[in-house]
Amino acid sequence: MYRYDQFDHKLVTERVNQFRGQVSRRMSGEMTEDEFKPLRLMNGVYLQLHAYMLRVAVPYGTLSSVQMHKLADIATKYDKGYGHFTTRQNLQYNWPALEDLPKILDELAEVEMHAIQTSGNCIRNVTADQYAGAAADEIDDPRIWSEIIRQWSTFHPEFTFLPRKFKFAVTGCSNDRAAIRVHDIGIELVRGKDGDVAFDIHVGGGQGRTPMIAKLIGEAISREDLLAYLEATLRVYNMSGRRDHLYKSRIKILVHDIGAEEMKRLVEEEFALVKKQGVLQLPQEEVDRIRAYFAAPDFETLDAECPELDAAMASNKRFAAWVNTNTAQHKQAGYTIANISLKPIGGVAGDASDAQMHVVADVAEKYSFSEIRVTHEQNLVLAHVKKSDLLALWETLEANGMGTPNLGLITDQIVCPGLDYCALANARSIPIGQEITERFADLDRQHNIGELKLKISGCINACGHHHVGHIGILGVDKKGTEYYQVTLGGSADEITSVGKIVGRAFTEHEIVDAIETIVEVYLDLRESPDERFLDAYRRVGIAPFKEKLYADN
């Protein structure tokens, strides 16, 4: 795993001390709320409905067992015994007191964690494919490149005060598991002409009020040019923002307004300048230095086949279902990637109790080289588990409410905090998600429905990715009452699409039935069980769903 170098240590320590001073000046009255608010936001502290919220960064979603234990301890000591894993691969605490925040940040720093780059108009925590370093289909480990981007961008003088926040995502292969096309810059690792790793740079994606799909601007950019190309892209954005205030918003608006061609031209122009200066050339030695942090663990030489596993699957239906849905192919024979679902039926998507966090830390230590990943779909991953250990792992998870075999199914939802916590919300998200999981609790039914990504946001900020849900649900407010608008056909993978609104919004009491109707329409019209919801939708369009949903009006 990546270890802090001295420079990082100093930075984080200084930052915590600075924040301690700011909190104490705020409490003593030397600082007003208006002065304090931007400072607390820079340190990941929000004010929600019931309390403060602290957002802890998990760079490219990788955590060690020691870090996970620490997150659990903080939840016990300073919060209410749980944390919330988010789509930004962060962890949020919902109840910390202001005066405890510096202490929490101190404790985080002990395990090389922090809350920097989790809010504010800066380059945010870089997110990456959760199967990094393990996936059979990856070209290279995306974390290496995420880390290089993180080092280059953190506290970069030009990028501390961007017009708006800025999000990067990196995926290691053409199967996009990091939703790169809905990020400000999404990077896909590809093979360059010489067979080396190169980078496709997608620019201008995003969700929120105006969802946009990123455009491919840079194709197969070489290793040594990567940072120069990114710098050029950010400069174009930054300068356009400053020049006329017109683009004082997200890069997606800029790309949309001037078009991909013009954006490409501007970036290439700037790129030529940055390149001439030469300082941003990324040397192979630097890449090697970072790569060493992500060196593959000491895999054993094993057979690809594992008769014990086959036998266990044959005798335990639920375990077999879990292996089928929640594991993915590993590049190393005899190993597999195990997904830990944080979506139990009736549970709060992404929430984990302190006890569960300790359990995950322990099983990671025992079965997966002490390493844990957080996914943007609000689940956890143990990336390197021996097939022969899967049963023991699953039994522990199952005993602790984390063995649900539902990855990628209708009950594996992305759900934002919504009006139960969030000060910006229009409507609640979590209880709608819970009711849907209860309606579809039957595993055979879920498996029969197959892959179906349902995503819920409590307002148009789209933290719950509803725009790119196969089924998306958006909470809206009509005169103090909650309503839910449904979109269909969104997707955040290699063929990204933004969902279409199906019709008038539903009440809290209608929404779950409406979802069930949509699913029934799909089951009726699919050509075969292999035709996924999204494929069927793309074939038939929105009309059949609309007809059935609004048949009575």
Partner 1 sequence: MAQHSNKLAKIQAVTANRLLDGHVVYFTAEGQWSDWVDDVVLADGKEEADALLAKALPSVETRHIVDPYLFEVDQEDGKMVPKSVREKIRMAGPTIRLDLGKQAAVRS
**209 binding partner 1? (CB under 8 A):** no
User: Closer CB to ligand HEM, residue 462 or residue 536?
Assistant: 462
**Torsions phi, psi of 183, nearest 5?**
-115, 160
Of the candidate residues 50, 77, 242, 289, the single one contacting partner 1 (CB under 8 A): 50
**Whole-Å CA distances, 296 to 66, 68, 292, 385:** 19, 21, 9, 13
Stretch 255-274 residues interacting with ligand SF4 (CB under 6 A): none
Using alpha carbons only, what angle is made at residue 216 by residues 205 and 282, rounded to the nearest 5 degrees?
A: 100
C-alpha to C-alpha distance for 468 and 458, rounded to whole angstroms: 15
Q: Dihedral (C-alpha) 255, 261, 267, 272: value to the nearest 10 degrees?
A: 180
DSSP 123: B
User: Closer CB to ligand HEM, residue 213 or residue 443?
Assistant: 213
**121 binding ligand HEM? (CB under 6 A):** no
C-alpha to C-alpha distance for 240 and 163, rounded to whole angstroms: 10
List of E strands, 101-167: 127-128
User: Closer CB to ligand HEM, residue 465 or residue 526?
Assistant: 465
**433 binding ligand HEM? (CB under 6 A):** no
Amino acid residing at 308? E
**459 binding ligand SF4? (CB under 6 A):** yes
**80 binding partner 1? (CB under 8 A):** yes
**342 binding partner 1? (CB under 8 A):** no
Q: How far is the CB of 42 from partner 1 (least distance, A)?
A: 17
Amino acid residing at 395? E
3-class DSSP state of 1:
coil
**457 binding ligand SF4? (CB under 6 A):** yes
Of the candidate residues 2, 22, 26, 68, the single one contacting partner 1 (CB under 8 A): 26
User: Closer CB to ligand HEM, residue 50 or residue 504?
Assistant: 50
**87 binding ligand HEM? (CB under 6 A):** yes
- According to DSSP, the β-strands at 454-457 and 414-415 are parallel
Total binding residues toward ligand HEM, as defined by CB under 6 A: 21
Of the candidate residues 106, 420, 493, 531, the single one contacting partner 1 (CB under 8 A): 420
Q: Which stretch binds partner 1 (CB under 8 A): 121-129, 274-282, 326-334, 480-488?
A: 480-488
User: Closer CB to partner 1, residue 50 or residue 191?
Assistant: 50
User: Closer CB to ligand HEM, residue 88 or residue 343?
Assistant: 88
Do the beta carbons of residue 267 and residue 239 sit within 8 Å? no
Stretch 119-148 residues interacting with partner 1 (CB under 8 A): none
Do the beta carbons of residue 503 and residue 550 sit within 8 Å? yes
C-alpha to C-alpha distance for 105 and 43, rounded to whole angstroms: 9
Q: How far is the CB of 324 from ligand HEM (least distance, A)?
A: 27
User: Closer CB to partner 1, residue 128 or residue 436?
Assistant: 436
SS (H, E, C) 331-359: CCCCEEEEEECCCCCCCCCCEEEHHHHHH
Who's near 325: CB < 8 A, 6+ residues apart? 405, 406, 407, 408, 409, 447
User: Closer CB to partner 1, residue 75 or residue 449?
Assistant: 75
Site mask for partner 1 (CB under 8 A), range 440-469, x = bound: -------------------x----------
CB under 5 to 8 A by kind: which of ligand SF4, partner 1, ligand HEM, none does 164 bind? ligand HEM
Do the beta carbons of residue 390 and residue 334 sit within 8 Å? no
Q: Dihedral (C-alpha) 492, 494, 498, 503: value to the nearest 10 degrees?
A: -80
Q: Which stretch binds ligand HEM (CB under 6 A): 31-39, 83-91, 147-155, 436-444?
A: 83-91
Do the beta carbons of residue 159 and residue 109 sit within 8 Å? no
Stretch 397-456 residues interacting with ligand SF4 (CB under 6 A): 416-418, 422, 424-425
User: Closer CB to ligand HEM, residue 69 or residue 124?
Assistant: 124
Do the beta carbons of residue 98 and residue 27 sit within 8 Å? yes
**70 binding ligand HEM? (CB under 6 A):** no
C-alpha to C-alpha distance for 304 and 447, rounded to whole angstroms: 26
C-alpha to C-alpha distance for 371 and 291, rounded to whole angstroms: 17
User: Closer CB to ligand SF4, residue 171 or residue 375?
Assistant: 375
Please name the residue that has the structure tokens 């809290």: 508
Q: How far is the CB of 142 from ligand SF4 (least distance, A)?
A: 26
Of the candidate residues 426, 446, 485, 496, the single one contacting partner 1 (CB under 8 A): 426
User: Closer CB to partner 1, residue 81 or residue 541?
Assistant: 81
Please name the residue that has the structure tokens 């620019």: 203
The residues of the shown chain that bind ligand SF4, judged by CB under 6 A, are 416-418, 422, 424-425, 457-459, 461-464
The residues of the shown chain that bind ligand HEM, judged by CB under 6 A, are 46, 48, 53, 86-88, 92, 164, 182, 206-208, 250, 416-417, 421-422, 424, 461-463
